[in-house]
């Protein structure tokens, strides 16, 4: 039996969520984050929330429904934050790329558990939930693709392979969730600064 006392708060819980559903969602993040989707049973999640499997099924159709909700809401946060960063970045291609890289990295550090679940458990998603999540991941990637292509058109970036460079940048920024440790040798802002620099190198930025 997995014993989790008081599931930690999670970014995927919304203010208007019904309280029991919110607790179940937080418990799912806690248990799936620790044991993976397949290692987390409905009974474990319900117990972590201090309730029963019957109550869980009242709020969510299945464990799969919990996973889809975690992934869906996590991506909504990421895409919305990236779009806002792009809106505020101004016209300079380097500033625009730096802004969305910084946002992508920060979201993956600030919602580390949720990011790890969303990225590592994509293979566990079933249709139609998988199609929904893949579409939102693709939308996030298109933001990076567009910024890099625009930089190439303007002569600010020299990469001959803009789509490949954009995927490289997003993959590197996403991987922060795997290795980042609060209180580690690098603070969050230094990690952001380094990833901005790496991104500009990857696209062949020409000052």
When divided into structural domains, the chain yields a total of 2
Task: Kindly state whether residue 65 falls inside one of the protein's structural domains.
Answer: no
One domain, residues 97 and 45: no
One domain, residues 143 and 100: yes
One domain, residues 183 and 146: yes
8-state DSSP, 205? B
Angle (nearest 5°) at CA 124 between 134 and 30: 100
One domain, residues 49 and 111: no
Dist CA 89 CA 5 (whole Å)? 42
* CATH code for the domain in which residue 27 is found: 1.10.10.60
The pTM of the full predicted model, rounded to 2 decimals, is 0.94
Task: Kindly state whether residue 165 falls inside one of the protein's structural domains.
Answer: yes
Task: Note the pLDDT of residue 129.
Answer: 97
Which has the closest alpha carbon to 108: 85, 77, 84, 139? 77
* CATH code for the domain in which residue 181 is found: 1.10.357.10
Please give the helix or strand (H or E) that residue 33 lies within, else none.
Answer: helix 19-35
Task: Kindly state whether residue 124 falls inside one of the protein's structural domains.
Answer: yes
Of 60, 91, 110, the domain-final residue: 60
Task: Calculate helix-pair angle for 112-120, 93-110, nearest 10 degrees.
Answer: 100
One domain, residues 92 and 4: no
Q: What is the pLDDT along the chain (207 residues), one digit of tens a residue?
A: 444 446 889 999 999 999 999 999 999 999 999 999 999 999 999 999 999 999 999 999 999 999 999 999 999 999 999 999 999 999 999 999 999 999 999 999 999 999 999 999 999 999 999 999 999 999 999 999 999 999 999 999 999 999 999 999 999 999 999 999 999 999 999 999 999 999 999 999 998
Task: Note the pLDDT of residue 4.
Answer: 42
- Report residue 157: phi and psi, to 5°: -115, 140
Domain that holds residue 95: 70-202
One domain, residues 109 and 144: yes
8-state DSSP, 123? G
Residue spans of alpha helices (H) in 36-187: 42-48, 53-59, 63-88, 93-110, 112-120, 129-153, 162-174, 176-179
One domain, residues 86 and 158: yes
One domain, residues 136 and 183: yes
One domain, residues 50 and 98: no
Task: Note the pLDDT of residue 1.
Answer: 41
Q: Which residues are CB-neighbours of 66 under 8 A, at least 6 positions away? A: 24, 25, 28, 32, 45, 60
One domain, residues 97 and 54: no
């Amino acid at each position: 039996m997995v014993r989790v006392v008081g599931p930690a708060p999670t970014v995927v819980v919304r203010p208007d969520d019904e309280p029991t559903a919110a607790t179940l969602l937080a418990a799912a993040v806690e248990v799936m984050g620790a044991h993976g989707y397949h290692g987390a049973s409905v009974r474990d999640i319900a117990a972590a929330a201090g309730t029963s499997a019957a109550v869980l099924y009242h709020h969510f159709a299945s464990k799969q429904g919990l996973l889809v909700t975690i992934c869906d809401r996590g991506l909504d946060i990421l895409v919305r934050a990236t779009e806002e960063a792009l809106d505020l970045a101004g016209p300079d291609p380097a500033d625009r790329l730096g802004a969305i890289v910084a946002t992508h990295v920060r979201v993956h550090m600030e919602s580390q558990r949720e990011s790890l679940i969303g990225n590592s458990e994509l293979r566990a998603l079933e249709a139609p939930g998988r199609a929904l999540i893949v579409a939102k991941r693709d939308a996030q990637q298109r933001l990076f693709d567009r910024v890099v292509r625009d930089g190439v058109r303007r002569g600010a970036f020299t990469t001959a392979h803009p789509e490949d460079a954009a995927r490289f940048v997003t993959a590197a920024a996403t991987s922060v969730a795997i290795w980042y440790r609060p209180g580690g040798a690098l603070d969050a802002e230094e990690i952001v600064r380094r990833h901005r620099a790496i991104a500009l190198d990857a696209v062949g930025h020409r000052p």
